[in-house]
Structure 1
Amino acid sequence: MARGAGVEALARVAVLVRAGAVPLFWPGLVAGGAGAFVPGLTGRWIGLYAGLALFLLVALTVFFVRRGRYAELAASAGKAPRSVILQDRAVTVRAWRRAHRWWLVLAFCVAAGANFAVPGALGLAFAGAGFGLWAKSLWLGGRERTADVLLWVSPDAAARRGGPAGRQVGAYRTTGIGAGDARPGGTRRAGAGAGARR
């Protein structure tokens, strides 16, 4: 990821968390909505009610899981040196989705196929996972605004098991609130050049 010897590349933590929200939420809703047109083994209404319950359960689980680890890494984060390369938001999102594309396709196919057994249930569960990731990115954004810093992590460490809060992640780095091309929480910063400000 680095462009020279000894130069470290960093990706935004909130962007990595947020990267899975859209490809889980919208395809999950599509698969879940398709269940309204399939009788299934349980019947439409039982499946859809089960799906709504799973949506809430999965969303809450995804939102709360590893929050302590995120908070611990954020509290101990050190300032990033000026020599680091701040990875563009689009590059971070594209790399995450490319690495997980076959899992996302498989998840959609399984959710759509499950409509013939329990209509809408698995699709809404996957949508709940996407919603939980989106909510967690907002929570991270709130922490960033409160501390007036942005949180960064090595993309190589975050790509391993456990993601940006896995055991292989030793520490986060911080920059000023205006660094990079994404705002607190990982949303795109309007009119900012790629990694323009530190």
Structure 2
Amino acid sequence: HICSSFGFGRNYVAPAIADLAVEYPDLEVRMDVFDRVVDIVAEGFDLEIRVGDDIPGQHISRQLVANRRVICATPEYLEERGVPKTIEDLARHDCLVLKERNNNFGVWQLRDGQKDVTVRVNGQLSSNNGEIVLQWALKHRGLLLRSMWDVKPLLEQGRLVQVLHDYSQSANVWAVYPTRLAESGKLRACVEFLQAWFIRLRAE
């Protein structure tokens, strides 16, 4: 029984599970997606695939693949509003704010090399759904902090442009599971398959 967040679950975990089912035809998998914090023990899940490094200490976690969120916008937005040159410039921009799970609303926790920076951002539009926020960004409504997984093809196509390159937010992909399953061979095989799947995907 696996869970993940809506956007990442649908776009990445679901295709990975489809391939997992081919590799292990005897394995029965149920997958649920949520846009809230899940208590995997209380709610009876065997495995959570989650993005971000705020891992509950009472569980076992294994990093599947490195990932980060970057700041970007459409060329049209940047032409109209200017390109932010410093982190302080964000205060003068429309930022598309995502309220996701337990993240602080309207605050971007960024990293500049070795230094952590907290930036308060605001804008006209906010949502609890990452795909809606991405849709708004593509309609030139503001700056977006989004996982490199999601924006890489859009950056390559020139539909989005990354700004403030020195700043990003860690958003690694983790497998999290209860300690009671530490010795489960079935779970270990599943996690190792997913780790190889995500690393292969990133390399493509």
- TM-score for the superposition, normalised by structure 1: 0.29
User: Going by fraction, where is strand more abundant, 1 or 2?
Assistant: 2
User: Going by fraction, where is helix more abundant, 1 or 2?
Assistant: 1
